[in-house]
Amino acid sequence: MIVRISPSNLKGTLCVPSSKSVAHRAFIAAACSDAPTLIKGNLTGDDVNATLVALVSLGAKARKTSDGLLITPIGDNLVKTVKINAGASGSTLRFILPLVASLGVSATIDGTKRLAERPIGELLDVLRKHGITADGDKLPLTVGGKLTGNQFTINASVSSQYVSGLLLALPNINGGTVETVGNIVSKDYLDITLSVMRDFGIDVYERDGIFTADGAYKSPREYIVESDWSSAGFFIVAGAKGDITLNGLNINSTQGDKAILNALKAFDADITADKVVRIKSNKLNAFTFDVNDCPDTAPALAVLAAFSNGTSVLKNTERLKAKESDRAKETVKMLTAFDIKCVDKGNEIEITGGALHGCEIDLPDDHRIAMAAAIAASYAQGDTILHGAECVNKSYPSFFEDLKRVGGKVNVLTV
């Protein structure tokens, strides 16, 4: 899809989609529960759909209702041999691998070329040590066998999804422990995992890097997936140059990406965060922000830095290189196209604010780069053409429609 974005002043009110981080976990817990669960929320995006399709292939049922999505657990309908396409979703891949292992399923798993490049080797090593066979170390691969033992040790310095995947599988093998080594990255995502598991009846806690889970999944009957702070971040940044109000965000959420508000405070935007979140333009201060625990905020924060008066620094950006794209490289490339001085220094990105100029960008297959570019384009001088803009479907299919709702000038040239 090719999209042209013309300059505008973004102002208005939105309700962003439900959190895909919460949805992945809730779908898995519901599929492994003792009774059906009605999942409520604005559940959209290719990633969460990949997890849902995988669970259905394993024997769960999913039916849309007027209130949400009714998930009937796998139970006695378990399919012992399946083919699963994880698409471009790292969460789907890293959660489904331990899940099929805990269920004793033989699964052939594939995905996009970029997903095949994302690390899973250490997770596979742990599974192999506990009775699982795997015919390779990257996609496509086939895993088989039944998970043995209930005490697992995993390096958490590569991805917290390794830990989350193992934790989500533990109730299927009567509980156990996951001991982490290395510095846990994106720890806030583990808080989401623990929260969802508790909501589905699991006694789960962490002490000194050791996570313990006891009990079997019990359906809460209804479960509401809260709005997504990751998606909201782009419109929060838009509000820092305009005036945006966002409904439905949980200010007490365990989602780590709500930390973007801290960067906005340093930027000295006008922020109201209570029953609604409203961001208005104020001063444009440069800032320094550590994205280690909230790496998905980096592209949006990079655009915020481009709006600032001065030089901003995003710290601990090394992990961005193993996302849907080399997100550090692509963020620098995107802002450079807008004539913003931006330098990748290895583990930090330095951005000097200034006037943005419209440009033409071939987007990587990375939803967060596309959304960041669209916000930047809205405040650039002259039109911007984005090629490959359909990648927003990964998490936020209605993004460009919502951009229009707050005054964005968006023209879809080709679908």
Please identify which of the residues 188, 296, 344, 402 carries the catalytic annotation: 296
Residue 296 bears catalytic tag: yes
In whole angstroms, give the CA distance from residue 195 to residue 208: 18
In whole angstroms, give the CA distance from residue 115 to residue 322: 10
Find, among 186, 258, 250, 271, the residue nearest to 229 by Cα.
Answer: 258
For residue 218, the Cα-to-chain-centroid distance in whole angstroms is 25
pLDDT in tens, 395-413: 999 999 999 999 999 999 9
The answer to whether 375 and 234 are in contact (CB under 8 A) is yes
Question: 374-398: buried (b, 16+ CB within 10 Å) or exposed (e) per residue?
Answer: bbbbbbbeeebbbebbbbbbbbbbb
pLDDT in tens, 204-258: 999 999 999 999 999 999 999 999 999 999 999 999 999 999 998 999 998 989 9
Cβ neighbours of 85 (radius 10 Å): 18
The answer to whether 352 and 310 are in contact (CB under 8 A) is yes
pLDDT in tens, 84-106: 999 999 999 999 999 999 999 99
pLDDT in tens, 249-289: 999 998 989 999 988 988 899 999 888 999 998 989 999 99
- pLDDT value of residue 274: 83
Give the residue-averaged pLDDT of 117-122.
92
In the chain, the N- to C-terminal Cα span, in Å, equals 4
How many CA atoms are closer than 13 Å to the CA of 331, on its beta-carbon side?
Answer: 32
Peptide bond into 98 cis (omega under 30): no
